[in-house]
Structure 1
């Protein structure tokens, strides 16, 4: 599901800002952007996100503001500079070179000015960063919950359309079976015209052939799948993968049902059911 969350945490003149963006994806795919000095926080961040989100493409960006923004510091080594100056002055006097020792001369010498990398307190920074991340996750999760409620209602509405088609087929089963028997009787009568056949055996064979076209089991299993579908939606847990698997079973039963009943009207209803399953599947990809 799509969502956005933002969190901040401050202490001693520094502020960590976390922003999270999520979009639909079959699996959990995370991308973490951190200041270079804090790259070691990437894996702990991913673990915290995975504890809250199960599916989706997630972008998490962090920025650090304030005095703790880690920047290199330039420092002057005054004792070394004084020694350089004395040495340069000595050289001027030794070789009787005219002119004073200048600042430019000093700056060309090694170690007079050095670049020092600042080492932040990683434990303290992690506490702030984690606090900002938790706030952003809660904010994002709230937005996703609102979208989830709308998706849940849409799935229930689509499931109701699917169930209406199943009930239509269920009501038509007795009539379809009778029609099937009549068709078989007429066909067999035409094929066996003039041939003496035991009526009891003929009735048995017709009953067997009619039973093969009975879709009561498929209807019962579809009813069970639909009940499970509703139960999953009401559970309040991440159910996207389970719903996706359940819809595969929906499709399996519909294919079996359509192949058993050689009837144009039922074939048309079968196409409608597959269409509704595909719509359900598209929406299920958007939820956890």
Structure 2
């Protein structure tokens, strides 16, 4: 189901903006763009998203900016040592390959993340992580509220479409009953004509063949299944739990019965109803892609 929510926050050192969006998808696909220097944030956010979501292509972005630097800069000797070691290995490999690397400048090395930090960076990160995780439920609540609003509107649309399917099924039942009488009369007339103009024809065998034709043209089972599917779909819509995949499967069954109805129609009015059914069912399938 589509949804959107945004939320701003700040503390004494940082300010930030959350952005959470989702679009339609058959499964659950979560993509995150969060700062990798906040250890444990991405995993914790994913856990919380999985608690409230079961379907959709979800993207979450967190942009964080640090306010004016506070405190004196300090040199992280461990990080500097790691950077210099990696630089030495890179130069060695390049020399073995006959490649000359440009000399590294001190400013380039100091700009590597973690080499220079303020005295309070370690504490700031832990405090920031705690504040962000505390604020995350607020973002998720806003997101869910928007999805619930859309869900109510979607429930109305699907209910109206089910009513259309029910009306068309009732119309098809009336036409099929009329066609049944007409078909029986035609079969009787054709059987009489065959028996009058053919010598040595096995009347029982002809009657059997005509009976098979009548059975193949009967759409009673298809109409019964359509009515059962309508009832099942309404039951799903009443449930509060995620039913998107179940409804998606049910739409395949709806479409199968509508296709069979059209193939058995043998009557313009019944064919028209079958095509109208397929049109409404197709519209429902598109809407159900929005249901979690």
Q: Name the TM tier (shorter chain).
A: 0.7 to 0.9
| Residue 175 of structure 2 corresponds to residue 172 of structure 1 | yes
Q: State the Cα distance separating 1:12 from its structure 2 match.
A: 5.7
Residue of structure 2 in register with 1:154 after alignment: 157
Higher-Rg member (1/2): 1
Residue of structure 1 in register with 2:192 after alignment = 189
Distance 2:250 2:130 in 1: 42
- Deviation of the 1:62 alpha carbon: 1.6
Structure 2, unpaired ranges of 5+? 76-105
> Which of 139, 144, 153 is 2:142 aligned to?
139
Q: Does 1:286 align with 2:290?
A: yes
Q: How far 1:121 moved relative to its partner?
A: 6.2
CA–CA distance in 1 between the matches of 2:146 and 2:239?
A: 19
Distance 1:176 1:196 in 2: 31
Deviation, structure 1 residue 35: 2.1
Quote the offset at 1:38 in angstroms.
2.0
**Post-superposition offset of 1:120:** 4.2
- Higher mean alpha-carbon deviation, 132-141 vs 13-22, is at 13-22
- Measured after TM superposition, the shift of residue 212 of structure 1 is 3.0
Higher relative contact order by CA 8 Å / sep ≥ 6: 1 or 2? 1
1:45 positional shift: 1.3
Which residue pairs with 1:57 in the alignment? 57
Distance 1:132 1:8 in 2: 10
Gaps of 5+ in 1: 77-106
Q: Aligned-pair distance for 1:32?
A: 1.3
Tell me if structure 2 keeps the 8 A contact 1:16–1:128: no
Question: How far off is 1:179 after superposition?
Answer: 1.1
Deviation at 1:200, TM superposition (A): 6.9
1:219 aligns with 2:223: yes
Partner Cα separation in structure 1 for residue 52 and residue 135 of structure 2: 15
Moved more, 187-196 or 160-169: 187-196
Count the aligned residue pairs: 254
* RMSD of Structure 2 on Structure 1 (CA): 3.3
Retained in 2: the 8 A contact 1:29–1:55? yes
TM-score of the two chains, using structure 1 as the length reference? 0.75
Correspondences of 1:115-130 after superposition (within 5 Å): 115-117=115-117, 118-120=121-123, 124-130=127-133
SS of match in other structure, 1:22: strand
Q: What are the Cα deviations for residues 219-274 of structure 1, in whole angstroms up to 9, with x where unaligned?
A: 11111111111111110121111111000000111222222332222112111111
